[in-house]
Structure formats: C-alpha cells, structure tokens
Chains A and B, each alone.
Chain A
Amino acid sequence: MTNSDWTPDQPLVSIKDVHKSFGDLEVLKGVSLDVRQGEVICIIGPSGSGKSTLIRCVNALNTIDSGSIKVEGIEVNDPGLDKLELRKNVGMVFQQYNLFPHKTALENVMMAPIKVLKQSAEEVEERAHALIKRVNLVGKENSYPGELSGGQQQRVAIARSLAMNPDVMLFDEVTAALDPETVNEVLLAIKDLAQDGMTCILVTHEMGFAREVADHIYFTDRGIIVEHGPPATFFTEAKDPRTREFLSQIL
C-alpha cells in the first residue's frame, strides 16, 4: 500500500495479469501493460473488448478479481487501499462528461480541491481560472453545464480533473458522445496536456488522434491485448488478423 518504494524510473502505472468478470462474463482475461511517466498510450478495440473496464480499474471505480495494478507503487488490488490517496494521483474524464449540473463551470473545477484536499478557496480559485483558460473557456466560468455545448462541458471536465493535480489522466472515450464539430476542441485540449508531459491513458476511437499523440497503441479484443506497438508501425504493420480487420473497418 505504501508508495515509498516507487521511483520515477519505474512505470507510473503497472498493470499485470489483470482478470475481471461481471457475473459469468469475463471481460478482462489477463491484461498486462506498463505506462511510464510522461507517456501517452491509446487503447483501441471493438466495443465490449474491455477497454473501458480496464481503465476504470486503474482508479478503482471497478475492482479486479486477480492480478495487480500499481499506480506510483500503490496497489489498487488491496482491500486496505486508500482510495483517496490513489485518486489524488489519477484523474479521469468520462464519455458523458458527468459534470455537476448544479454548479457553474468554475465551481465544478474548484469543488474537489476545496472539499477533498481542503485547500484554501482563494488559492484554488486562482488555479481554476488558469485551468479554465488552459482549456480555452474564458468567459464561461459562470455558465452552468446545461448552458454549455458537449465539447465545452468535456473541456470543463478535463479542467476539473486537472485541478486535483493528478500524475496520470484517464480518458474514457471522451469524444464518443460529442458532435463532430466539437470533437476537435477536446482533442486539442488533450494534445496540449500530452505535450506538456502529462501521463495519459486514452480509450479512443479517434485513430488519427491516436496516431498523432500516442507513444504506444494497444489493441484489445475480447478481454486480451492482441497487439501493441508504437503508432508508426502499429497502423501499417499490424500482424494479427484481428487487428488488421479492425483497422480496415475503422480507417
């Protein structure tokens, strides 16, 4: 449970032989992967292949049945897990944005640092303004989520997550629910993050984006990682027939 033995030269997120079932349905059948600090990885694959479940396990929104997930040395698969300690390090952005509808954009960003980390409101507000600016939403601070477009809401969600100063960000199909014209503004925000050295794990169907920002791409199907590699070779030299079939359908 302690993360004292973790050093930055080790993988920030280390997933080893993870198994997970929902009832009789085994969605993860021994998945292993490592993410180093500053690395951006994309997980792609057909729906139902366990991608979302996998990243939801990384911040303990789902529990795992066996195997190990370590985030900066904190073992997620531990009954005595300090969830707060874990979630301080791991930010997450969801497909449906999931903003707090009764709070303005700025309040959404400020809430967790104040209520969870007990930081001073003034200091947090200053940081929140900077984050709003970073995701290009100056002027929308006092808008409620219901008054914002999907793309704007998703950018608020990214800022909200960043306000906790996480070391790794999880993106769970964050553009899948968006109108095509707003997809780009969200991708730009993520790209900006990635270029700043944020460690990111993305589940995505945006192949062009994956090719552009990812350091490593993983293709999952039916609960296993079928194939992985850097984008330069992954898209052109896929070896497994399942990967090739998937890519041919989607590209």
Chain B
Amino acid sequence: MNAFQQYFYDLAQTYPKWNFIYFYDPVQTWRVVDGLWMTIQLSVVCVIFSVIIGVVGAWAQGAHSKTLRLVMQGYIQFFRNTPPLVQLMFFYFALGQFTPTYAPDGWVEVPIISNVGWAIISLSFFAGAFNVEIFRAGIEAVPESTQEAAEALGMNRLQIYIYIVLPLAFRVSLPALNNNLVNLVKTTTQALAIAVPELLYQMISIYNDYSTAQNACMLFLFFAYFLLVGILVLGMSRWERGMRIPGYGA
C-alpha cells in the first residue's frame, strides 16, 4: 500500500462511516473505473444517436407525407410522456423477449441485443424525442424568406435543409439542446434497472458488498456526475461561442 492508499485505509479504521474503499482496494478501484467508462461510453453514444434522431425526426416532421408526420408525432408523444425508467424496462424485459438469439459457444443462447444495447436504444429514443422538438423549434425560427432566396438560386429542398436551414437552426437550438443532453447524461444512471454496469450500478455494488462504503460511494457519484456534466456543458458552450456569427443574433 502506498501512502495515499494507507491514508484512506487508516481513515476507514478511525471513522468507519467514511470508508473510501475504492481508493485503497484495487478490485473496487477497477469497479469504479469500469463503471465510469461505461457511463462515458453510454453518454457519448446516446448523445450522438439522439442528435441524429433529432435531426432526421425534425426533417420528417416537415415532410409532405401525412403518415410520416403522424408517426413522428406518435413517437414524440410516447417517449416524452412516459418515464424513461419504464421505457428502459419495457425495451429490455418486454421487447427483449422477442429478439432473436445466437449461441457464440454453441451452447448458451444469447440475445443479439444486450442490456447495454437496449439501454442505448431506449435512452437515445428518449432524448431523441426531445431533440426533434428542439430542432423543430430551431427550424421554425429560420425565416421563410431566407429559404426562398436559396430556392431562387436553384437549390432543392435537401440542399436548402443542409446548407441553410440546419446551420441556422442549430445555432438557435443549442441552448435547449444543451439542457436536454445534460439530462440525458444524468438519465443514463437509470440503466441500472436493466443491470447495465454503469457508474451508479458499480457504486451500489460496492456498498452492497461493503456497507461502510456507502457515504463515500454517494460522495463519489455526486462528484463524478458534477464533473462529467460540467465537461459536457463547457464543451457545448465553447461550441456555441465558436459557432456565433458576427452581427447575428444575441
């Protein structure tokens, strides 16, 4: 044990309610690292997918097809009006029953979508539903006349969307998107319910094994999410600043 580990070991001996076990027991340290890494992966992948869903969904909402618009509306209402925890459980326990399985070792049947897979799908669609609304509001803020000018220059609908509407709508949407992505990162903790070994899952596992570590684990959770979300917000606001157009908007 080095001095750092020794310090926390002694601390736990003196004050049993403050057992920072993950600082001196390498097995627990790895559980924290694994959990943190899983949370980061889950967050990054869900952020990317939810933004893609938002962009495509907002496009679909402006489509001519009434069926497509109706489907989008149904999707948004469903995912926005039901709790993400229920969605996660529904995807994993209910839909999970119907997914095909395969047997990698020729013996045990494994579903092709793992619990992590379902967490990514479920959380991406959850945050994506909000992103559709956020982007749609941004798109509606792009003046019709600007799009008309692009049309007069011979651009088709897709070109106008990609080169004019999206870049402008994105800038308008960023603050709201920011909020939603922050929520998404925090909601990844609910993947605990389907046993995704993310940070909260690992921390609870630790203090289930070592009940004296409970306070220390909670403290770490707050600290870790505070930092993770802090980094996201910092990154987003830098991006927002970088995209600001001189003489346009606030």
Contact = CB atoms under 8 A, between A and B. Distances in A.
B248 A101 contact: yes
B247 A88 contact: no
Interface stretch (B15-23, B106-114, B154-162, B225-233): B154-162
A62 to B, nearest CB: 10
A157 B168 CA distance: 18
A222 interface: no
A147 B244 CA distance: 13
Interface in A107-141: 111-112, 115-117
Interface in A139-160: 143-148, 157, 160
B152 A115 contact: no
A101 B147 CA distance: 12
Interface size class of A (residues with CB under 8 A): 20 to 34
A144 B154 contact: no
A99 B143 CA distance: 11
Interface in A79-97: 83-84, 87-88, 90-92, 94, 96
B56 interface: no
Nearest to A144: B246
Interface residues of B, number: 22
B220 to A, nearest CB: 43
A117 B97 CA distance: 52
B152 A96 contact: no
A100 interface: yes
Contacts of B171: 102
B245 interface: yes
Nearest to B153: A112
A92 B247 contact: no
A101 B142 CA distance: 10
Given A94-B148, A115-B159, A116-B159, A102 B248 contact: yes
B154 A99 contact: no
Interface string B210-250: 00000000000000000000000000000000000111100
A233 interface: no
A241 B149 CA distance: 37
Contacts of A117: 154
Contact of A112 (B148, B154, B168): B154
Contacts of A96: 145
B155 A99 contact: no
B151 interface: yes
Contact of A102 (B150, B155, B159, B168): B168
Given A87-B152, A87-B153, 19 more contacts: A59-B152, A84-B156, A87-B151, A88-B154, A94-B145, A94-B152, A98-B143, A98-B146, A98-B149, A100-B149, A112-B153, A112-B154, A115-B159, A116-B153, A144-B248, A145-B247, A146-B245, A147-B246, A161-B152
**3 nearest A-B pairs in the assembled complex, by CB-CB distance:** A146-B247, A98-B149, A112-B153
